Structure 1
Amino acid sequence: AQAQCLESRLRARAQEARSAIQEMGGYTFQRLELIDAAPVAASIAAATGRDEHAVVRDIRFPRIDGPQTPEVRAFNDMVAQQPQFRLQDATNEIVDYTIAFAGPDIISVRFTYSTDQLQAATPSSTLRAVNVMMKERRALAENDVFAPDSGWQRFLTQRAVREISRQFSDYPDFPPERDVFETATKPHLWVIGERGLTLLFPPLSFGGSHVDGATEVLIPWAELRPYLNPNAPAPIGAGA
């Protein structure tokens, strides 16, 4: 059984190694990993009652290989991740990512963050996106996507409320519109994709509890057409 377990772990690691380099949108992305571990102090292990002998940090983020143009350097700087805890804080920390879209104008990366503090009651997690306007070497802003004064904030909020209430149909009068508005209108919680705009709702960001976890709402570009900036770069508005 131990040999089988080791073999499966080696297979998984080999698969990860094969996916460490991605060719996408004319770019070559390499996965960078900051991985380290430290033993848990006996006093902390005893206090928590958990059978854990080490804390682990596994932090991953993409880096564009090839010529380091100003645009590429800006992207690499904006997506780089660092540990938020020291190893002596006895907190497992995992950061992973997915490249949602890569093109000459925009690269959209979705990050998931998980932390498990050994002395805390429950692990915690959150989500965010890093959307880089490559030619301008800056983060995506709301006016890059939507036309000012088009009423896009109200539309996003109502559309998200409708979808989240469907997902959590057992909850009466849920979710609170004010909480959804606060989250749905933040560009660092938008994932730009070919099909549409995905709104990320981390735990506790839409009126739910930790038990409800995170959720997301995908709105096709066709539905967003009346609100979009007509000069928005691809893929914003694709097929709309």
Structure 2
Amino acid sequence: MTDVETSTDLKAPGFRTRIAELTDDVQRGFIAEWAVTIILLLFGTTTLIQAFVIPSASMVGTLLIGDHVLVDKLVYAPGGAVSSKILPYRDVRRGDIIVFRYPLNISQDYVKRAIGVPGDHIHFDNKQLFLNGKMVNEPYTVHSQQYPDVYRDNFPSGAHAMPLRPRAAEMIEKNVVDGELVVPPGYIFAMGDNRDDSDDSRYWGLVPRENIVGTPVIIYWSFEAPTQDLINGNVGVDHIIDVITHFFTKTRWSRTFKLIRGYPLGRASN
């Protein structure tokens, strides 16, 4: 009897009216939530997150040319006494992938991996990284060129093989102790994962801490494109046409929404 009475109530005009009202409420709530989300995203593109595109092969092995990434700009932000306890601020860690303003031209953004933090002792012997006296395993690296390079493969190499930039020569020389680079306070030693094809701290020096923008957290889209189409953010008409005509065939679907993670390196020496 109870089931029959319930069935009758479902057909009542008042019940149908209430269902319609609830449906309208849900729809309005959904629209409101999306509106707030869009506003936050628009606001966040300059304060919390920012979109970047990878223009070169220096991080091949981890990031490819044409990977479009979202960068968390909050994680390394300097926090006050109160905000540091509430928000997830932290300092740069060895192995983090970082986006930063290029020290020699702050209008350009670079992406590399943080290899050394203040106080770390770094040297390379035949492409092998030694950090604080210990050989470090780097499974993410790619060595694309077989020919030897005294400076690139054995760092720091001394006066017989100077870095390409005079600024780097002075900075590196004054921080070399017993054949190792000692990362000074306020700086990060950064390198590309594609070790044989990366313009990095070996050549232009250390990254000032204040130049660091954030860390990439996700690839939201990946599209096969040549470096010349993406370098310096100059996207031309040809690239736009290429995207429109080859969106489905050149999009790397397997990389879309792929999370980006750092790789923890060795601990600091005592």
TM-score by length of 2: 0.26
Report 1 or 2 for greater relative contact order, CA contacts < 8 Å, sequence distance ≥ 6: 2
TM-score by length of 1: 0.28
